[in-house]
Structure 1
Amino acid sequence: MEQKDLFKELGQIRSLMEKSSKFVSISGLSGVLIGCYALLGTLFGYYILHSPKSSDLLGGENLTKQNILFITAILILLSSLLTGWLMARKKARKNKQSIWNITSKSLLFAVSIPLVTGGILSLILIAQGYYHLIAAMLLIFYGLALTAGSIYTFTEVKWLGILEICLGIIGLCFSDQGLLLWGLGFGVLHIIYGFIVYKKYES
């Protein structure tokens, strides 16, 4: 009995240490929702690029297809950030934890450098007309951000990041398939990741 109690106490200590050093308020369901946003954006992008009726949305010569895709991507990004923050705050309150602490600050700093770098590079590519490289660049730098931040949260985040990088590299080789790979990376992989995190840590 004493040995069992010792193992139990050691397990509790380990759990407390992990909670103090890891940001575990990330919601798996938010990953699923973010993936759904991305898939909807991908379908809309495909419609804009390939449907002859999409010209009705361009408002004459005021908007180009690239502008609409860029605006769509920004809206998806803002919606994803808001969803992730709201659901993380809800999960943190449920677990009686603070969403803003040393670990979350470290996580934010780790992911911000690759994300900001990738965002600036993407704007430069857009300004120079290299639209076919944007999806691959976003996937690669998003994957780098996830792998950099994974030491502060779930291990699954690291594997999601590695897969995103792989898709981005494939996107550089097949730049005409950028929209499809973007949907796979930000959509399908996010949904799978979200379900895994939810089933493993929340259900």
Structure 2
Amino acid sequence: MNKVSVTTPNGSHLIIEVDDPEVLYKIIGMVTSNDNSSIDIGTDLVREEPISDASEYYSDVYRIDPVSSNGNGHKSANGHSSSEEHELIKFCRSSNPMGDMRKVVVVSEAASRYLNEQMVDCDRLASLFDLVGWQRPHSFIQTLRNAARSKFRWMERVPGRSGQYMVTDKAEIFRSKGWRTMRYTSHFN
């Protein structure tokens, strides 16, 4: 297994693990073939390191999986077409939710609408946040629990499915009003 660490000019760090060396060279080629001449491509921008068992020290490690296609259109690694994912991204970004709980609810609703995924868990939320380009919350499980609390009831646990949550009818009423209008409302009203 090989690891590529990329530091972008704005200070962001990406760590990518791959099994196939050919994929590694494609990644290096994409980074180094940037048309922007203001980026200084140096040894500290991209470096290749063998991966040891100490990879648990990295909290945000992205693995590249092979992409499947049926020949009729582009398919992503999870089997959804790029047009479905594009619609999900467009929906999430146009909703422009403020706060982690609202983002979790919006991306869960988008997964339900465009990817036909009625339930989400922490791992799926992490991949959806990466797809949309949102910064991950400190703890997805805590954010899900907060959204499911009786004070909000925007999400609910799925009985018999450990760690699985789905959007409630209470959160769905914001479809017509707009996701930014999500506010605390007492369940006694």
Q: Please, what TM-score do these two structures have when normalized by structure 1?
A: 0.24
Structure with the larger RCO, 1 or 2 (CA within 8 Å, 6+ apart) = 1
Q: Please, what TM-score do these two structures have when normalized by structure 2?
A: 0.25
